[in-house]
Amino acid sequence: MLKLTLFEFFLRIIPESILSVLAIYIFSFNRIKIKPLFMSSIFFAITTYLVRMLPIHFGIHTIIMTVIYSLIIIFINKISIAKSISSVLLVAIFLSICELVNMIILNLLKIDMQLEFRDSIMKVVYTTPSLVLLGGVILLFYLIVYEQKIKRIND
């Protein structure tokens, strides 16, 4: 069970959900629609909170959330099945890589993660860099896609 506090829900899960849905729009090359973005972000956050409360092994929750996220994106954001699934998986991969980089940096700084992650405030503080890194990756991808789009228009 990967319990989350309300503090973590509001300061980690909701921002991560908004970034994830935004990334899915960008990775699927769809125009960003604000209302569906926020609706699906709230559903993402609630889903994450509820699935993490289930008494299941680590990793199984990721599979369950990937399926649910894809369904949310298909039905709320009206993104095709193929684009939805591939974008959700891409976001999961990028998020995992960003979290891995963050953990490596914390290890290099000799921070005892097991001790620090017991406190929800410190957990949010120490995991925020991975969220910022994910935001940077999404922004970089968006700028590259936007630049390519401008090139095609000008050619």
Instruction: Note the pLDDT of residue 152.
Output: 77
Contact 39, 75 (CB under 8 A): no
Q: Which long-range contacts (CB under 8 A, 24 or more apart) does 29-34 make?
A: 29/83, 29/145, 30/77, 30/79, 30/83, 33/77
**Would you kindly state where each structural domain of the chain is located, as residue ranges?**
6-154
Average pLDDT value for residue range 47-56: 92
The pTM assigned to this predicted structure is 0.91
Residues 109, 133, 98, 150, CA torsion sign: negative
Q: Report residue 150's pLDDT band, with 50, 70 and 90 as the boundaries.
A: low
Query: Is the confidence at residue 155, as pLDDT, over 80?
Result: no
Instruction: Note the pLDDT of residue 96.
Output: 95
Taking the C-alpha atoms of residue 3 and residue 85, their distance in angstroms, rounded to an integer, is: 26
Q: What is the token pair recorded at 24?
A: 């899915």
Query: Is the confidence at residue 86, as pLDDT, over 60?
Result: yes
- SS3 of residue 32 by DSSP: coil
What one-character DSSP code corresponds to residue 28? T
